[in-house]
Structure 1
Amino acid sequence: MPLRIPDKLPAIDALKRENIFVMDTSRAHSQDIRPLSIVILNLMPLKITTETDLIRLLSNTPLQMDVTFMKLKSHTPKNTPIEHMMMFYKDFDELKTRKFDGMIITGAPVELMPFEEVNYWDEMATIFDWAKSHVTSTLYICWAAQAGLYYHYGIQKHTLPKKMFGVFRQYVTDPLLPIFRGFDDYFFMPHSRHTEVRRSDIVANKALTLVAESPESGAGIVMARGGREFFITGHLEYSPDTLGNEYKRDMGKRDDVDMPVNYYKDDNPDNPPVVTWRAHANLFFNNWINYYVYQETPYDIDKIE
């Protein structure tokens, strides 16, 4: 797709090697089209990896999009060069007067902390409030999903007895929703988390709709405000080797590390992973962009409310 991303972003070369079409800003300026404006608040430690994962999925529609990366003023990442952050990211203060067609808020490695004890919680709360009136539709992923459900709807998170780690089958509760157009009866989604939100709390809240769930991993995707908010407890955006890299990183460093479930061929970590989620991940993001962003956002972006 004609995805407009900043010139020289590392993801460009990586995705071109995968034969995925991306358009840098210089080329895109020659097209007379009102592009969709997408902002990504990237809270993950390995920001370049997450950028690549998300752009890979956003690159699967024929619509032109401008992608902006947001960072927090109250938090300095430790695992990404400061030069990269200065070149490609903008503080919320620089973006708060703008409106966006779509927003993605990623997970963060702070899930075992109470929300209010996260050192950037106040800024996150401000961004959550801002998104309700400045963004047509927002995807909240993993920790951001739990944080958003807690902040907006009072849904508590709960610590799991052991890490939910692997690839789990998800069942769609309403196959007629546009977000699941073209889906099969079930799909797979990677999970990597130590906490959960409980099904009973979600279905008891009339403002929320549980749209995908798993008998193993629990609540999978929650929708609110008619699709203006989606809360995804897993990681559809993960590349094939992400769970494996996490497993190898944590082995020997933690005493609660199990091999990811339903991930390696024959459950043998010496074998490559079996990728079962990529097709539905692309379809989910494509449906989100088409039906909940493009079809709903006003042509005059300033009329978003």
Structure 2
Amino acid sequence: MPINIPQYLPATERLKEEKIFVMEEERSKSQNIRPLNILIFNLMPEKEKTELQLLRLLGNTPLQVNVTFLNTATHESKNVSKSHLETFYSTFHEIKKDRYDGMIITGAPIELFEFDEVDFWEEHKEILDWAQEHVTSTMHICWGAQAALYHYYGIGKYPLETKCSGIFDHEVYDSTVKLIRGFDDIYPAPHSRNTSISTEAVKNHPDIELLSESDEAGAFLMISKDERHVLVTGHLEYDADTLALEYERDVARGLNPELPKHYFPEDDPTKKPRNTWRSHTHLLFSNWLNYYVYQETPYDWVDKGENHSLTSSCL
């Protein structure tokens, strides 16, 4: 089934080249289908790259998906044109009365700031609180996961001596959990962050289940016990060359970065890295959309005071 995206979004042509079934919103209005409505709160600086990465994954399932992009009103994005944001993005004020079947909150390059030092933190907290009543399931990625762990569960982050960057192996703890159904016992995934969280704090929290971790990179996949929140501390959505581009950027800035671990062939940055995590990325997004969004969301969102009416579990 197709992914429905705003007309003229730059990612459209690239998705079509990759044979992702794309339907622009004008055509989708003629379809007598109840699609899933997914909100993407995109906090990454290079928004168009992140749009493509996430749309590629949402468009590779049997479910029809409508996508809305959300941007902060209290922070000015510097790496994307104002016209792009005005054309393809909404602010929280514009969508706060709506309901969404799922939401994705991306990472952001602000980990070294304390949460209350982030200029849009109050807005972010408002969105997290709003999601409790207006979104069936939310996937939080990297800084987004750290922010959710802090806001919902009181688990903070701490700075690392050196950046956690590279491709790391992760162990699956319980393969019967729907989110990781079909995963190999050990699988690779990218990380790119300057802070981390306490694995022990996650394990000891009564409202969170740790599903997968790495000996080198720590806790990776978590889910809340009520299954409303999926937390991913790394970047499964990354392309094969994303870590290389980040490394080259930091070299150009004179930051003297370490090579991403287990990434470049023979640790040679002149050699082209390969994507070894793609299949598990697609599986994670497919499982999330199927088991935690599609099978849990109501067919019709109906406001009844503070609650919504679960009129149907099937679409």
Output the TM-score relative to the length of structure 1.
Answer: 0.97
For residue 61 of structure 1, what is the amino acid of its counterpart? T
> What residue is the counterpart of 2:71 in the other structure?
71
Contact 2:103–2:135 (CA under 8 A) maintained in structure 1? yes
User: 1:252: how far off?
Assistant: 4.1
Could you tell me how far 1:157 is from its partner in structure 2? 0.2
Shift of 1:226: 2.9
Counterpart residue number, 1:224: 224
Counterpart for residue 55 of structure 2: 55
Query: Which range moves more in the overlay, 283-292 or 176-185?
Result: 176-185
Secondary structure (helix, strand or coil) at the match of 1:227 reads coil
Q: Secondary structure at the match of 2:226?
A: helix
The SS at the match of 2:110 is: coil
Give the structure 1 partner of residue 137 of structure 2: 137
Pairs within 5 Å for 1:226-305: 226-302=226-302, 303=308
Deviations 1:170-190 (A, max 9, x none): 111111011111111121111
Contact persistence 2:111–2:195 (CA under 8 A): yes
Number of residues paired by the alignment?
305
Which residue number in structure 2 is paired with residue 115 of structure 1? 115
8 Å CA contact 1:4–1:64 kept in 2: the answer is: yes
The answer to which of 252-261 and 289-298 deviates more is 252-261
The match for 2:195 is 195
Q: Match of 2:4?
A: 4
Instruction: Quote the residue 1:91 is aligned against.
Output: 91
Mapped partners of 1:147, 1:98: distance in 2:
23
Structure 1 residues 52 and 226, CA gap change in structure 2 (3 angstroms): same
User: Structure 2: how far apart are the matches of 1:184 and 1:221?
Assistant: 14
Distance in 2 (CA, whole Å) between partners of 1:11 and 1:283 is 22
* 8 A Cα contact 1:237 1:281, kept in partner: yes
Aligned to 1:20: 20
> Residues of 2 paired with 1:81 and 1:269: CA distance?
31
CA RMSD of aligned residues (A): 1.2
Match of 1:178, as an amino acid? K
Secondary structure in 2 matching 1:251: helix
Contact 2:139 2:230 in 1 (8 A): yes
Distance in 1, matches of 2:102 and 2:36, equals 8
Cα deviation code 1:206-256 (max 9, x no counterpart): 111111101010000111043210110000111111111101010142445
Match of 1:128 in 2: 128
- How far is 1:110 from its partner? 0.7
- Which one has more relative contact order, counting CA pairs under 8 Å at least 6 apart? 1
Contact 1:71–1:91 (CA under 8 A) maintained in structure 2: yes
Measured in 2, the distance between the counterparts of 1:36 and 1:93 equals 21
Q: Once the two structures are aligned, what percentage of the paired residues are identical?
A: 49
Q: Which residue of 2 aligns with 1:45?
A: 45
Give ranges in structure 2 of 5+ residues lacking alignment. Answer: 303-307, 311-315
Instruction: Return the alpha-carbon distance in structure 2 between the equivalents of residues 86 and 213 of structure 1.
Output: 39
- Tell me: CA distance 1:304–1:201, structure 2 relative to 1, closer, same or farther (3 Å): farther
Taking the TM superposition and a 5 Å limit, the aligned residue runs for 1:120-199 are 120-199=120-199
Q: Deviations over 1:233-292 (max 9, x none)?
A: 000111111111101010142445111111112221111112110010001000000000
* In 1, Cα distance between equivalents of 2:246 and 2:37: 32
Structure 1 residues 25-62: Cα deviation after superposition (integer angstroms, max 9, x where no partner): 12222221001000000000000000000001101111
Amino acid at match of 1:250: D
Unaligned runs of 5+ in 1: none
Q: Supply the AA of the counterpart residue of 1:149.
A: L
Counterpart-to-counterpart distance in 2, 1:238 and 1:206:
31
- d(CA) in 2 for partners of 1:53, 1:106: 11
* Matches of 2:30 and 2:90, distance apart in 1: 24
* Whole-angstrom CA distance in 2 between matches of 1:154 and 1:67: 30
Looking at structure 2, the residues matched to 103 and 275 of structure 1 have their Cα atoms a distance apart, in angstroms, of 25
TM-score, normalised to structure 2's length? 0.94
Equivalent residue number for residue 313 of structure 2: none
Q: Secondary structure of 1:176's partner?
A: coil
Give the Cα separation in 2 of the matches to 1:252 and 1:243: 14
1:19 CA drift (Å)? 2.2
Change (3 A) 1:155 1:17: same
CA distance in 1, matches of 2:20, 2:208: 35
User: Is this contact kept in 2: 1:5–1:67, CA < 8 A?
Assistant: yes
